[in-house]
Structure 1
Amino acid sequence: MAGWQDWVGREEVAEDVLTPETLRRFTATLEGVVPLPAHPLCLHWCLAAPALPASALGQDGHPAKGGFLPPIPLPRRMWAGGEITFHAPLPLGTAITRTSRIAAIREKQGRTGPLVFVEVAHEFSAGNTMLVSEVQTLVYRTPAPLHRPQAEGMGTPTVSLTPDATLLFRYSALTFNGHRIHYDEPYARTVEGYPGLVVHGPLVATLLANLAEAQAGRSLRHLTYRGASPAIADETLHLFTDAGQLEARSANGALVSTATASFDI
């Protein structure tokens, strides 16, 4: 597999407006799940998502390959992690521009076959004001048996919740995410091999970020997060915050996600 370096530097620009209704729906979706600060974090994932007709989607519900992202011929795409810097709160009623750029493409050989990592840098701005900057890491791979980490001992969680199909559906709608593993259980089980509906990686990061800021009582400035294994709907999810070290674990203590948060002084 070669030739993908020509895609590095490719850019995409989109614009959106954060409306009071979008903010209200985001808050309604997460309220009571985790504490929310005055300016909820990770709301930018609800803005300027690619809006494509059904004819431009792949079987999995993602945009078909070969648009902004390279047409890597590996069938599974996952959100592996990333890092976010929150520069300023998102303003209501103002045009917000998302500028996305393919920052790097790396190939490696994993235990179950080839892997391709694509780093995408995003900047959200309003006029000359930077609001959010982030780098997302996507991984493309071959189908492989689901790896669920061994159970581990764990302390007392900060918050425990049970994500259900309704939460996943509402979050998919908020972020205009068509990936079928989040709402089509027969597809998730029979095609992609999961034991149930999959909780969005960005949703887990959103829960950890907002919980961390609420616990710290200070504005969260930077978040680095990494997925370790999928969280599954209707299974308990434990969230831990400890001085900026964050974790999400499954019901039996297996690691789902880790994150590191830094705050304003």
Structure 2
Amino acid sequence: MTEQSAACDAQTVIAADIVVPTSAVALGATLDYDAPPLPGDALPLLWHWIFFRPTVAQAQIGEDGHPRKGGFLPDLGLPRRMWAGGRLRFHAPVTVGSAITRESSILNVSEKQGRTGKLGFVTVIHRIYCEGTFAIDEEQDIVYREPAAPGTPAPAPTAAPDAAQWHRQIVPDEVLMFRYSALTFNGHRIHYDKPYVTQVEGYPNLVVHGPLIATLLMDLLHRQSPDAKVLEFSYKAMRPSFMGNVLHLCGQPSADGKTVELWSKDHEGWLTMTARATLA
């Protein structure tokens, strides 16, 4: 595998939004919350992803449903693009009803020649403020790739850990996928267009959103340890999860209570996402 990378001194893009209570209520309903956060309450962690929606004109949408490349995100000449992972540090709460701003810039762009073809990686930095108070800093990893050639074998899967202290399972269906796509204004067709995802991108079924899985893992932590204060959270997509299959959400707190290892696995026991939360 060959690799080259470069730091980027790109312009900072600033976005503004309001943590609209109805959006928080809608995500709460999507995640089966009995009592969603009310105005003035702290927004549950990772729920900020349903704000700062990418409101790109319809004429600027590409074939895959993403905004066309070459604006803020660079065009690496690779047609497939997915959210691959990230790292967050939480400094102050984001509250429902508050005004929020986000400063975004590109930290790094790298390219690799892998076994299945050319890959591109872009790391974006976000700094989020709530009513002027610095609340979250986040690094988001985006991967670009070539279309898989017919007959290309899938990467070898990784077996998930055998046992977990925490466990919950769900079966992502069309309604969950639609709701999360709508809440995030995510037009990526792999999440809702079965003919496209199977015939064009070669997946066996609709792909579950990576940010949704990360949100469900964070939700598992809060369901099991509602008083825990999360300082940092990192996550990495390992393998696609598909609609209609059981998705296992798992967690294992450390003996000293300072970290929690989290992961998702599919119906065959293969690891689909790993995450780690650092607690106060």
TM-score computed with the length of structure 2 as normaliser: 0.87
Paired residue for 2:11? 10
* Contact 1:8/1:105 (8 A) holds in 2: no
Q: 2:162 aligns with which of 126, 149, 154?
A: 154
Gaps of 5+ in 1: none
Provide the C-alpha distance between the structure 2 equivalents of 1:3 and 1:10, rounded to a whole number of angstroms.
22
Q: Which amino acid aligns with 2:18?
A: V
Q: 1:226 to 1:181 in 2, by over 3 A?
A: same
What is the CA–CA distance in structure 2 between the aligned matches of 1:56 and 1:5, rounded to whole Å? Answer: 27
Matching residue of 2:244: 234
Q: For residue 29 of structure 2, what is the amino acid of its counterpart?
A: A
Q: Which of 117, 121, 143 is the equivalent residue of 1:117?
A: 121
Pairs within 5 Å for 1:1-265: 5=6, 7-31=8-32, 39-144=43-148, 145=152, 146-147=154-155, 149=157, 154-155=162-163, 158-216=167-225, 217-243=227-253, 244-264=260-280
CA distance in 2, matches of 1:43, 1:85: 14
Aligned mates of 1:142, 1:57 — CA distance in 2: 19
How much does 1:198 deviate? 0.5
What are the Cα deviations for residues 37-87 of structure 1, in whole angstroms up to 9, with x where unaligned?
974221111111220111011000101011110111001111111111122
CA contact (8 A) 2:4 2:111 kept: no
Aligned residue for 1:23, secondary structure, equals helix
Query: Displacement of 1:213 after TM fit?
Result: 2.8
What is the letter of the counterpart of residue 251 of structure 2? T
**2: CA distance between counterparts of 1:100 and 1:152?**
34
Unaligned runs of 5+ in 2: 254-259
Distance in 2 (alpha carbons) for counterparts of 1:3 and 1:254: 30
How far did 1:148 drift?
A: 6.4
Residue identity over aligned pairs, in percent, reads: 44
1:96-124 Cα offsets, whole Å, 9 max, x none, are 10111101111111111111110000111
The TM-score with structure 1 as length reference comes to 0.91
Aligned partner letter, 1:236: V
Q: Between Structure 1 and Structure 2, how many residues are aligned?
A: 262
Q: Could you tell me how far apart the structure 1 residues matched to 2:230 and 2:192 are?
A: 31
SS at 1:158 equivalent: strand
The letter of the residue matching 2:176 is L
What is the root-mean-square deviation in Å for CA atoms of aligned residues? Answer: 2.4
Residues in 1 aligned to 2:72 and 2:219: alpha-carbon distance in whole angstroms:
30
Distance 2:58 2:74 in 1: 19
Task: Report Cα offsets for 1:171-204 as digits up to 9, x if no partner.
Answer: 0111111100001111110111111010000000
